[in-house]
Amino acid sequence: MCSKSKHKIIITYNGEIVAGSLLIRESRKIARLLLKNADSEAWHQAIVVENILQKRSPVAAKRQARLIKNRLSLMNPELWEIVDKGPIYWLFSSGRQKAFECLVYLHRYNESTLSRMRSTYVTPLQGNFSARLELLQNEKEAAPTASAQKKFQKEMDTLKKKQAELSKFDDGLRHHADMKISLDLDDGVKVNYGKFGDLLVEEKAITGKK
C-alpha cells in the first residue's frame, strides 16, 4: 500500500538551459574552449574580439556563450570531446541513391535502435517501393504513347536502383541489429563509429579505414 508524502517536492528548471535549440555548430566551438580550459581573457578574445559565434553584437555573443557553457557544464570532459570532434547526430544512409537516410541522436541511441529503425522505417519502405513499381508497370502498359511509356520506364529504373540499394542496406542493418551494439563514450568517436560498418555516412573518413 502506498501513502502520500506529507512533504511537497518542488522541481525547478533553469530556463536558460532547457530553452532554445541545440545550437550544434556553436556548441562545438564552446566545447573546444572548455577543453582548452580557457581563462577569462581567452574567452573574451574568442567570443567578443574574434566573434567565433558570429553574432551581431558583443552582448548577443556573450549571452549565447553563457547559455551554451551552462549547458555543457552539466557534462563531463569526455562528452565535450564528442561535441567538439564527433557528430552529435549520426547519419545512417543506404548509399548514393539515398533510398533511405536516418539521423540518430547519439545520446538517445541504445541497443534496440537499429531494430526499431528497420521495423519502423526500412521494412515498410521496401513494401512501398514494391507497390510503387507494380503501379508504374501497370501505368506503363496502359500508356497510349511511346513517350509516355518511356517516362514510366525511366521512373521505374530509378526506383529499381533505390530498391536494390535499400535491400543491401537492410541486409547490413539486420546484421548489426542482431549484434545489439552498445556504445561506450569512453572509447571515443572513432571506435564507436566503426561498430556500424558502412551503415554510417563518412565511415571511412572518421574511422580512418581505407
- Residue 75 within any structural domain of the chain: yes
**What is the extent of the structural domain holding 97?**
89-207
Question: What total number of domains does the chain contain?
Answer: 2
- Residue 20 within any structural domain of the chain: yes
45-80: pLDDT as tens digits: 999 999 999 899 999 999 999 999 988 888 888 778
Which of 34, 67, 85 finishes a domain? 85
- Residue 10 within any structural domain of the chain: no
Read off the pTM. Answer: 0.59
Are 199 and 151 within one domain?
yes
9-39: pLDDT as tens digits: 444 444 454 444 557 778 889 999 999 999 9
- Residue 4 within any structural domain of the chain: no
Which of 85, 104, 139 finishes a domain? 85
Q: How far apart are CA 33 and CA 31, in angstroms?
A: 5
Closest CA to 197 of 184, 207, 182, 186: 207
Q: Residue 114 to residues 96, 97, 122, 179, 180: CA-CA distances in angstroms?
A: 20, 21, 10, 10, 8
